[in-house]
Amino acid sequence: MNALANPLPDEAPALVDSRFTVPGMRCAGCIAKIERGLGEIDGVDAARVNFSAKRVAVRHVARVDDEALISALEHLGFEAQPVAANPLAEDDREAKRLFRALAVAGFGMMNIMLLSVSVWSGAGGVTRELFHLLSALIALPVVAYSGRPFFASAAMALRYRRTNMDVPISIGVLLATGMSFYEVLTGGEHAYFDGAVMLLFFLLAGRSLDAMMRNRTRAGIGALLSRMGKSAAIVQEDGSTQRIVAENLFPGMTMIVAAGEALAADGTVVSGKGALDNAMLTGESTPEAVAPGDTVHAGAIALEGPLTVEITATQGDTALAEIARLMDEAGQSRSRYVRIADRASRLYAPAVHTLAVLAFIGWMIAGAGWHQSLVIAIAVLIITCPCAMGLAVPAAQVVASGALIKKGLLVKDGTALERLAEVDIALFDKTGTLTLGEPRPDISHLDARAKSVALALAQASSHPLSRGLTASLRAEGVKPATLADISEIKGEGIVATWDNSSVALRRNEIGGPGMSTTLHVGGLAHPILFSDALRPDAKEAIDTLARMGVCSQVISGDRPGAVAKVVEELNLEGFAGVGPEEKLERLEALRSEGHFPLMVGDGLNDGPALAAAHASIAPGTASDISQQAADAVFIGERLAPVATAVSVARDTMRIVRQNFTFAIGYNVLAVPLALAGMVTPLIAAIAMSLSSLVVVANSLRLARSAK
């Protein structure tokens, strides 16, 4: 969600973006507190929290530096650090700390429970006092170590006169431990070390699972980022080369990329020919031929070379960094369900503290004595922890986003899942969306021998028709023939020698409409026609959407003839020659009829429609404007991620509703029982912890939705 803050004056200086890691965020209430708090700072235009990545993105004027923003976050009760240059660098230190604390809490819980079972079985006198003392010796260091994540967060909040979810948790744990220690010193009958340690164990289990899910969500991109070039051989003024780390590269430098080397920056090929593995960016494993003038991206691996590349973008300006930013922007903005959780969590701390105080006072007035009244107040503090409510939305969104990433779809905005779940009609652009947007040949009439020669010729050229021919032949598993004296003649085609005879790919000898080339093998001419083919699973994806109740239409600016062919093949209703304004009018008309339209497009002229639609998706090959305007981006040649996104989004909202229902039901049942003195701190710890685990476990079912 965005917290739009103080309006800036008309002549405000340019805004800059800063990103911070805030590991102490625990729930939707923390999101609202951070965004609202930062938004109140003079010079901050907007603050957006990405709960899944534990990041905060702040847009502000330059005079507000990082130190001021970190200080502001500390006053809100959260520690923060600037995000490293690598925007998706995986910092798992917090996860390791949580796992260590969980292991210590688990060890302490098992041993204390063994002693407690003996006490519950009737051990009394000296034996009970001894077991209580042993429990204290185990529990005190365990609470001190495993409780640090909660105590530190609570102390930070209280230092600046704030409160957060960890404050009542810490109060409950410390009160239960302190009271139990008092029982040990005075030889009392009841000690609650088991409840305090079990509470810590289950809370840490929930937070460890949350950390695991976040790491899993970023694992795919993180693995690809690890392949990005860490340095480049830069050409010096005297013609020599010097290897420079990626952080010190700048646009305008010239780098030499050897075969087998990963590119460290975006650039344009100046000289040399070769092939790149662009699987990192496109998911397509087929090597892509490159030649002078072609654009290459950081992270691609040179399969052939060397290539001389002029750097055009480095570090945060590369295409790979843009994908990282798309990931980083996957927050919970504008979500109706998150707003509900925000309001609930905002009222939580004062409500819980008030309830605990009222329970203590009420039972004191009723004559229960300070000991029993304090036990009941502790149980109220523990059992009312809204962990389940806070996790209801983020846990489901994190798991769903991770599942969709594996299917080739990056969700830019967490609320996109909410809107995608509601769509009931899909509008598709034609070229580049339903079709591949690049020429693909009809090679059904070529025999194996001709295909082998055609591949050997085509892969030596960077011409768009050659690249399309190469991709189609490689998709069929064709192996290239061994050619000699291969050369490309500008304006004519590619010629070579094979088995002592001349072979060639020459352009457009058959004439007629459309794109074509001619393959010459052994004196025979094989005409090859090209067309902008449909995506291989376009029909299947459209049918899948129809089965989900989402009807599809084609809305394109292309000629009626071109659109009619696609419409007929996919059996859809179509509109041709539609401009950007007419697309907006079409969307508005659908909305007025009560529909929730999904727009899928790639061109510059689709940008307004993508921004105006109820939900929108763009292919990874779309223009920058279209990708920025869309809610999600899919990569690869298949259209299936569009249908998968709608399916997973509906499953996500179903899981969110289930989580909310469970969290509300839990509190409705548990709070009266605790106020009535029917719940001990141990039972309260088990009930609250299990409620969080139930929400997390229920959300994890979404991981199977995209399979």
Residues labelled catalytic: 429
> CA distances (Å), 90 to each of 20, 54, 98, 214, in order?
13, 11, 15, 10
> CA distances (Å), 590 to each of 416, 420, 635, in order?
19, 16, 28
Beta bridge partners of 553: 427, 573
Per the CB < 8 A criterion, the answer to whether 190 and 132 are in contact is no
Q: How many helices (H) and strands (E) does the chain have?
A: 22, 26
Per the CB < 8 A criterion, the answer to whether 409 and 641 are in contact is yes
Per the CB < 8 A criterion, the answer to whether 651 and 705 are in contact is yes
**Cβ burial, residue 142 (10 Å; 0-12/13-18/19+):** buried
Per the CB < 8 A criterion, the answer to whether 684 and 672 are in contact is no
User: Which residue in the block uniquely carries the two structure tokens 């109060």?
Assistant: 171
| Phi, psi of 421, rounded to the nearest 5 degrees | -65, -20
Token representation of residue 242: 């010097």
Residues 352 and 675: their CA atoms lie apart, in Å, by 11
The size of the chain, in residues, is: 707
Residues 244 and 238: their CA atoms lie apart, in Å, by 16
Residues 20 and 4: their CA atoms lie apart, in Å, by 18
Tell which residue, 468, 467, 469, has the closest CA to residue 452.
469
The one-letter code for the residue type at 47 is A
543-557 burial string, b = 16+ CB within 10 Å, else e? ebbeeeebebbbbbb
CA-based torsion, 655, 657, 660, 666: positive or negative: negative
Sheet-wide strand order for 81-82: 44-50, 55-61, 15-21, 81-82
Token representation of residue 694: 């139930």
Token representation of residue 282: 């496109």
User: Which residue in the block uniquely carries the two structure tokens 């923060």?
Assistant: 80
> CA distances (Å), 664 to each of 282, 352, 655, 669, 682, in order?
43, 15, 14, 9, 21
Sheet-wide strand order for 295-296: 241-245, 231-235, 254-257, 307-313, 266-271, 295-296
The one-letter code for the residue type at 703 is A
User: Which residue in the block uniquely carries the two structure tokens 């449909």?
Assistant: 534
Coil/strand/helix, residue 666: helix
> CA distances (Å), 411 to each of 357, 502, 538, 664, in order?
44, 51, 21, 28
Coil/strand/helix, residue 84: coil
- Tell me: cis bond preceding 306? Omega within 30 of 0 counts: yes
Residues 17 and 371: their CA atoms lie apart, in Å, by 53
Residues 412 and 422: their CA atoms lie apart, in Å, by 17
Residues 554 and 426: their CA atoms lie apart, in Å, by 9
